[in-house]
Amino acid sequence: MRIEWDVAVPMSDGAILRADVFRPDDDGAHPVLMTLGPYGKGLAFQEGFAGMWQRLAAEYPDALAGSSNRFQVWETADPEKWVPDGYICIRVDSRGAGRSPGLLDMLSPQEAHDYYDAIEWAGTQPWSSGKVGLLGISYYAANQWIVAALRPPHLTAICPWEGFTDFYRDLNRHGGILSRFGQAWQDHQIFTVQHGVGERGRVNPNTGELVAGPPTLSDAELSLNRVETIGEGKRRNVVDDFSAARTPDLSQIEVPVLSAANWAHHLHTRGNFDGWDKVASTQKWLEVHGFEHYAEFYTDYGVALQKRFFGHFLSGEDTGWETQPPVFLNVRHVDGTFEQRAEQEWPLARTQWTRFYLDDGALTTTAPASTTPIDFAALGPGAEFWTPPLSQPLEITGPASARLRIASSTTDADLFVTVRVQDSDGREVSLVSAIDPHGVLGVGWLRASHRELDDAASLPYRPWHAHTREMPLTPGDPVDVDVEIWPTSIVVPTGYRLGITVSGRDYEMPGDGPWPVLYGIENRGNGVFVHDDTDDRPTDVFGGSTTLFTADGASSVLLPIIPATDEG
């Protein structure tokens, strides 16, 4: 393998970004796999994300097998697993990050144009076949959607692996409620490798060079060299030009797409489904898996899927991709296992959309005629509704929604709708999610003042909120709200119970822990994607009492029930 460190990549405005290039040890022309982003191309996975690396090594040994792992970097492909197959792997530090000088402006139009320039540079080098593919997780997936919408001529195929598509709805605000993840992520993962951190940062173990250097700047200088992206998102309560500029027009994407989603990632899940649905590409595939969000990207399962896709589109190989189903699901079971299933569409055409009504603690398919309204403290555990023990297995796979009639003692209310399952002994069922080892099974969020729908974009199972204005409540007056519940999958066995919790705060798994902590946030079912920022949720507005009305079927959830096959 030939490795070139800190290669100069010229931008159209005269700026220079720095890239590491890993390519076969020959003089041939090969297809390119690229990432561009702010995580520091020289920051070793084992050092920068030690906890994740240790779990990957312990739980998924195949992810590390067959490689020295010397060049492993967080959320990017391992060149030792790709270069021997005739690919060139290129990692570019985005402007203002790592070894690339300039203004750090995450997910901005400037970054998108830089990515465009980098793709075109790679596609025209003498060692390049002219075909460039994009492959990476999270941020390295999210900005794939953005640059692909600009249609760089040499961009040939993309595989966004668990990456959001909507800056406002996916990253910053769930249903209009601020997610605290963004600030913690930015401070811990981005600003620590901003260009100019220099000697206060890490060292690339392969080169001995500073990951975020060579200059070492003061805090004041670093602050002047970046846009406070998450701070801006916090300040802006509704969708405006700032978030719109960082959200791609998915209809402009025409290259082949393999969108790989995780059932339980409260940053990325919705984006991978939405991206697959809205791209204009005639060749597009959706794959859905579970486990930690970094795991399957590196396992034999994930790498084999990626190689079949890129082998077909970048290398022209007969990988059997012609027979790949448009949708490939790993359906979740309560014991943590998965059932692999090929499908032809999403949502599944055979879905039996079933409305379950909330009725005095019960979850029933019959609308209650008359019930007493339920009051709960907005910052308390909320109200629970359960089916009787199931007489036969029940599969829920797809997007879902809730329609609630509520009133608040204040001018607003945050609503959290959580899908739950209990076993025959009343024990809570949780599954490994993308971030949390005890993740909730499904969840949706909405700030009541953001209840206005975009009727043209809404579907019964996927209400689409405009988020362009706030509509305060009149204390005590009921309103109807629709809550989007992100796509999920769970097969509930016989004897178990299906439940829904409606609350005014994040649902927390029962028990005394100890619970994992990441970025100073305790993971109790929702990982780091919690909604407890006191600036966004002042107690005088969001700490009141919420009333839920259930009479005449006023409050219900619409769930995607998949009928059992003849094989059971």
pLDDT, tens only, 199-209? 999 999 999 99
- The Cα–Cα gap between 132 and 155 comes to 5
Whole-number pLDDT of residue 468 = 98
Confidence of residue 196 (pLDDT cuts 50, 70, 90): very high
Range of the domain at 69: 2-155+167-246
Whether the predicted pLDDT of 378 surpasses 90: yes
Order of strands, sheet of 2-10, starting from the edge strand that comes earlier in the sequence: 2-10, 16-23, 88-93, 30-37, 128-137, 155-161, 257-262, 284-289, 327-332, 338-343
Which pair of tokens denotes residue 239? 């969708």
Whether 73 is in a domain gets the answer yes
Boundary (domain end) residue, out of 202, 219, 246: 246
Whether 341 is in a domain gets the answer no
Confidence of residue 513 (pLDDT cuts 50, 70, 90): confident
Boundary (domain end) residue, out of 216, 246, 276: 246
Whether 206 is in a domain gets the answer yes
User: Rounded to 10 degrees, what is the CA torsion of 46, 49, 50, 51?
Assistant: -140
Whether 468 is in a domain gets the answer yes
Confidence of residue 568 (pLDDT cuts 50, 70, 90): very low
> Is residue 415 located within the same domain as residue 557?
yes
> Is residue 226 located within the same domain as residue 356?
no
Q: What percent of the chain has pLDDT over 70?
A: 99
Tens digits of per-residue pLDDT, 462-484? 999 999 999 999 999 999 999 99
pTM of this prediction exceeds 0.85:
yes
Whole-number pLDDT of residue 20 = 98
β 352-359/362-364 pair status: antiparallel
Boundary (domain end) residue, out of 223, 246, 269: 246
Whether the predicted pLDDT of 163 surpasses 80: yes
Q: Cite the DSSP H helix spans in 355-491.
A: none
Q: What does pLDDT average to over the chain? A: 97
Whole-number pLDDT of residue 566 = 56
Confidence of residue 370 (pLDDT cuts 50, 70, 90): confident
> Is residue 547 located within the same domain as residue 421?
yes
CATH number of the domain encompassing residue 92: 3.40.50
Q: What is the domain count for the chain?
A: 2
Query: How remote is the C-alpha of 107 from its chain's centroid?
Result: 15
pLDDT, average across residues 367-378: 92
Whether 162 is in a domain gets the answer no
CATH number of the domain encompassing residue 383: 2.60.120.260
Helix or strand holding residue 539 (H, E):
helix 539-542
> Is residue 205 located within the same domain as residue 65?
yes
> Is residue 382 located within the same domain as residue 523?
yes
Whether 315 is in a domain gets the answer no
pLDDT, average across residues 126-141: 98
C-beta atoms surrounding 124 within 10 Å = 12
> Is residue 229 located within the same domain as residue 361?
no
Residues 6+ apart with CB under 8 A from 291: 262, 432, 434
Tens digits of per-residue pLDDT, 60-95? 999 999 999 999 999 999 999 999 999 999 999 999
User: Rounded to 10 degrees, what is the CA torsion of 417, 418, 424, 427?
Assistant: -130
Whether 511 is in a domain gets the answer yes
Q: For residue 450, count CB atoms less than 10 angstroms from its CB and return exposed for 0-12, middle for 13-18, buried for 19 or more.
A: buried
Whether the predicted pLDDT of 567 surpasses 90: no
Task: Determine contact, residues 378/505, Cβ cutoff 8 Å.
Answer: yes
Whether 258 is in a domain gets the answer no
> Is residue 370 located within the same domain as residue 512?
yes
